[in-house]
Amino acid sequence: MPTHAPPSTPLSRIDLERLKLQRMRSLLATILPANTFYAAKLARVSHDRVAAGTGPIEALSSLKEIADWPFTYKDELVEAASTTGRPANLTWPPDRYVRFHQTSGTHGRPLAVFDTADDWAWWMECWQSIFNRAGVTVGDRVLVASSFGPYLGFWSAFEGAITAGAMAIPTGGMSSVARLELARSVGATVLVATPSYCLHLAEVAQEHTIDIASLPVRLVIVAGEPGGSIPSVRARIGVAWAAAVLDHAGASEVGPWGIGDVSGCGVDVIEPWFHPEFLSVETGQAAVAGELSELVLTTLGRCGAPVIRYRTGDLVRPRWPTDDAIAAGASPWVHLVGGIVGRNDEMLVVRGVNIFPGAIDDIMRSFPEVVEYRLTVSSCESLDTMSLEIEDHLAAPDRVACELQVRLGLRVAVASVPVGTLPRFEGKGKRIQDRRMRVLPRRLPPATPTKP
């Protein structure tokens, strides 16, 4: 089993790659051949290595070697779970697992996720990296605004706060007003929620004349949506709560893999525990710095239910720190400029223009008078059309339509609706409806991983 102790001092990129290689070897030695899913997936790779005289698969000399290994796709895991009732990528018998969760189902059927006690300890190590950067420690009071269903993300944040020595405050089953009152009465210093729900809480507070800016909340950690790295969304949350905003990214089947910074937009991959690769959206080959690419992740410490070369579907723009920047104190981890830009299954192509939901959100949140919105894309006589409903205190849709045309280059029909009529979201927001016939996105071809 790999150790769960994080490195005590910042690593250079060379040292970081050595650490990841060591953990990858340890992972393979632990899971093979017991993990029948990956034993079958990697059988050809293992056979070719032995035939070539390079030894068993655990004897990697470089992480570059995994470039020829097969990808793992979510639909593989979902399909197996739908027939057996358990994930396909389990290493141990089911009675070894102590935690059951499942994905949110936002992008298809929910996927069951099992974790062993050791895997959960690994989750807590990852969250310790997040809370360390956020400055969350003993004495903090972390209010987690979640219904605490089977969705894993907020459970891990809650228990991660306990591991960090902070007070963890659950709010499952509570109304928004009750959560605001609890935040006031217990003196919550940190709020954890989706960006959508942070803004909804601010709206509810205004309706009930609750001054949330006067609450002791000093930090808002957002996850579940890309809003924490969208400038206008981030600014709106920060102003409403009079607090710093920290973005976080993760996935139930992968782990809590990304952490932002209170000083700006973007997310770093927590590389000591996750090995990232980047596939160019244009070519399917290894992406260069700044290029729009799909994020591919390999877990390096989750032995009970690992994922190797997992196609996340998240679109990002990677940037690697220079040696000089690391020497000056910068993180050695790869930085994703702007966080998660979008998903390859969420990108809208409207009249030849590529549009991500995050771009719409950035525009809409730049209007402080717009409370909520809903965008509908449809077709009329083979022509794509977009219509937007907004809850606007100014009831002036023309200014929004003008901004959309300037920034998107497309005409959008905008109409005002009464405040309070559009849906609100505690979890991931669903503000865009595509009523056209959809063509499923193609899978990008295999590629060589990017060289840092």
Q: Is the pLDDT of residue 107 over 60?
A: no
Q: Which helix (H) or strand (E) holds 127?
A: helix 117-134
Cα–Cα distance between 288 and 269 in angstroms, integer? 16
Cα–Cα distance between 255 and 252 in angstroms, integer? 6
At 442 the pLDDT is 44
CA distances from 283 to 162, 291, 292, 294 (A): 44, 11, 10, 11
The full set of domain ranges for the chain reads: 348-434
Q: Is the pLDDT of residue 439 over 50?
A: no
CATH architecture assignment, domain 348-434 = 2-Layer Sandwich (3.30)
Task: State pLDDT tens for residues 7-30.
Answer: 445 689 999 999 999 999 999 999
What's the pLDDT band for 153 if we cut at 50, 70, 90? confident
At 211 the pLDDT is 96
Task: State pLDDT tens for residues 35-89.
Answer: 999 999 999 898 888 888 888 888 899 999 998 899 999 888 888 777 777 889 9
Q: Got the DSSP string for 359-395?
A: HHHHHHTT-TTEEEEEEEEEEETTEEEEEEEEEETT-
Q: Is the pLDDT of residue 429 over 50?
A: yes
At 108 the pLDDT is 59
Task: State pLDDT tens for residues 176-196.
Answer: 999 999 999 999 999 999 998
Cα–Cα distance between 172 and 241 in angstroms, integer? 21
Cα–Cα distance between 146 and 248 in angstroms, integer? 15
Percent of residues, the chain, with pLDDT higher than 90: 64
At 3 the pLDDT is 40
DSSP bridge pairs for 269: 258
At 6 the pLDDT is 42
Give the residue carrying structure tokens 């009970």.
Answer: 304
Which tokens is 359 given? 């771009």
Task: State pLDDT tens for residues 397-417.
Answer: 999 999 998 888 888 999 999
pTM, two decimals, is 0.82
DSSP bridge pairs for 264: 261
Which residues does 36 contact at the CB level (< 8 Å), separation at least 6?
none
The least confident of 16-20, 101-105, 143-147 is: 101-105
Q: What radius of gyration do the chain's Cα atoms show?
A: 22
What's the pLDDT band for 450 if we cut at 50, 70, 90? very low
Secondary structure letter of residue 107 according to DSSP: T
Q: Got the DSSP string for 164-197?
A: TTPEEEE-TT--HHHHHHHHHHHT--EEEE-HHH
The angle subtended at Cα 450 by Cα 445 and Cα 451, nearest 5°, is: 150
Asked if residue 176 lies in contact with residue 199, where contact means CB atoms within 8 angstroms, the answer is no
Alpha helices in 60-116 (DSSP H): 74-84
Cα–Cα distance between 350 and 18 in angstroms, integer? 45
What's the pLDDT band for 106 if we cut at 50, 70, 90? low
At 441 the pLDDT is 46
- Residue bearing the bigger pLDDT, 128 or 441: 128
